[in-house]
Amino acid sequence: MMYERVLKNTIISGFKNGFASIIYGARRVGKTVLLEQIKQSLNEEKILFFNGDTQESVDALNNSSEIKLSSLVENYNTIFIDEAQKIPNITLAVKIILDKFPTKKIIITGSSSLQLISGAKENLTGRNYSFNLYPLSTFELSQDLPKYKIFALLDDQLVFGGYPFIYSLGIKEEKEKYLLQIIEDYLFKDILLLEKLDHPEAFKKLAVLLAFQIGNEVSLNELANNLNISVKTVFRYLDLLEKSFVIFHLDAYSTNLRNEVNKNKKYYFYDLGIRNGLVKQFQQISGRVDVGHLWENFLIIERMKKLEYAGKIFRHFFWRNYSGAEVDLIEIDDSNVMSAFEFKWQKNKAKTPKNFKDNYKIETKVINHENYLDFIL
């Protein structure tokens, strides 16, 4: 089944002469399908498609000759470049094309943002729009479904995540095999090939350690000691995992340095299927001891998808004081208005921590099974 991606209309409506649209996202998250959906919506015949996985595309675009690039693209209105991070100097080629043909539409996708971000900063500053494509959101999965069927998706979302192909597979074993293949081929093999890391085994182990610690504050010193590498290396590997769309982090929120935690971070996964694959835990939700952490991770990333796809500007944090009181999610919008949320798997009540309420004059809102769709749809 092909799921309609929310970003499609956003990208099409945002086309601007002389600009490139860059779509970032992990491998197999659906970037190529999104390009096909955009192509169908444009209803144009003069579209040129390059794929960085093929040597022909690499050879064609890995050059800085205006004459050669012009002869390639001059007869086309729109140019798609898939897996662009595999084409050396691709952003320079795009700049040359846009300089020569400022009315052409160029859409680039990349599985690892590292090379593309640095290249775009150098060659396309002020001339690109960037978008992040995530695993399927609840909205994308549930279009045209009645509410009871959306609820029925939840267990699979928490266990197997949101990679589109997962939802075309029937039995549990096929889903597990697919996710483990992504971890081995993309998370480890592709990233290690691109980055030439000094401690590849430590990098793999770091991903597993983070998978066991979702929803908990992470100490770089502890990670460094566990992995027998420097804090500087841990920091670099965390940055690599974030820029490869494996993990993201929340900072601690604080305006009271004496009483509130202000330096720690919490790490979460963009996809829970990847997280569960790293720790080899694909049991159904009933009876799992980590269900609270899965629920927290799920709600945070689904909320982020909802707001980002809607074009809203926001900042997210967690809050904790040194007495142990916590708030799972602090959300601050572009008007600096703060909201606070507590996530409960069971239908439990949660009391707003007194220090938080006194300092920030707001109550936390509890998100549980009964109201979570209002929070993420």
CATH of the domain at 319: 1.10.10.10
The residue-averaged pLDDT of 214-233 equals 96
Say if residue 113's pLDDT is above 70. Answer: no
The residue-averaged pLDDT of 317-338 equals 96
| Average pLDDT taken over every residue of the chain | 94
The residue-averaged pLDDT of 228-255 equals 95
Say if residue 327's pLDDT is above 90. Answer: yes
Res 112: pLDDT: 67
169 and 247 co-located in one domain: yes
DSSP-assigned letter for residue 81: E
181 and 308 co-located in one domain: yes
pTM equals 0.95
Q: How confident is the model at residue 121 (pLDDT cuts 50, 70, 90)?
A: confident
Res 172: pLDDT: 96
pLDDT tens-place string over residues 137-194? 999 999 989 999 999 999 999 999 999 999 999 899 999 999 999 999 887 887 887 7
247 and 301 co-located in one domain: yes
Domain boundary among 100, 132, 164: 132
Res 230: pLDDT: 97
Res 218: pLDDT: 94
77 and 148 co-located in one domain: no
* Residue 268: its H or E element: strand 265-269
Q: How many Cβ atoms sit within 10 Å of the Cβ of residue 140?
A: 19
116 and 155 co-located in one domain: no
Of 144, 142, 140, 154, which is closest to residue 370 (Cα–Cα)? Answer: 154
Backbone angles phi, psi at 166, to 5 degrees: -55, -35
Backbone angles phi, psi at 343, to 5 degrees: -110, 125
Q: Which token pair is 20?
A: 């490139």
Of 344, 367, 340, which is closest to residue 253 (Cα–Cα)? Answer: 340
Rounded to whole angstroms, the Cα distance separating 309 from 133 reads 9
Rounded to whole angstroms, the Cα distance separating 272 from 160 reads 6
Domain boundary among 81, 97, 132: 132
Res 285: pLDDT: 95
Q: Which has more pLDDT, 349 or 40?
A: 40
Q: How confident is the model at residue 350 (pLDDT cuts 50, 70, 90)?
A: confident
279 and 343 co-located in one domain: yes
Q: Which domain holds residue 109?
A: 7-132
Q: How many Cβ atoms sit within 10 Å of the Cβ of residue 278?
A: 21
Could you tell me if residue 2 is inside a domain? Answer: no
38 and 119 co-located in one domain: yes
Is the alpha carbon torsion for 255, 258, 259, 262 positive or negative? positive
What total number of domains does the chain contain? 2
Residues sharing a CB contact under 8 Å with residue 140, sequence separation 6 or more, in sequence order: 3, 4, 5, 6
pLDDT tens-place string over residues 26-53? 989 999 999 999 999 998 889 999 999 9
Res 349: pLDDT: 81
Instruction: Print the SS3 string covering 11-64.
Output: HHHCCCCCCEEEEECCCCCCHHHHHHHHHHHHCCCCEEEEECCCHHHHHHHCCC
C-alpha distances out from residue 90 to 48, 97, 141, Å: 15, 11, 33
Rounded to whole angstroms, the Cα distance separating 289 from 309 reads 32
Could you tell me if residue 268 is inside a domain? Answer: yes
Q: What is the CATH classification number for the domain harbouring 118?
A: 3.40.50.300
Rounded to whole angstroms, the Cα distance separating 1 from 219 reads 42
pLDDT tens-place string over residues 247-286? 999 999 999 878 898 888 999 999 999 999 999 999 999 9
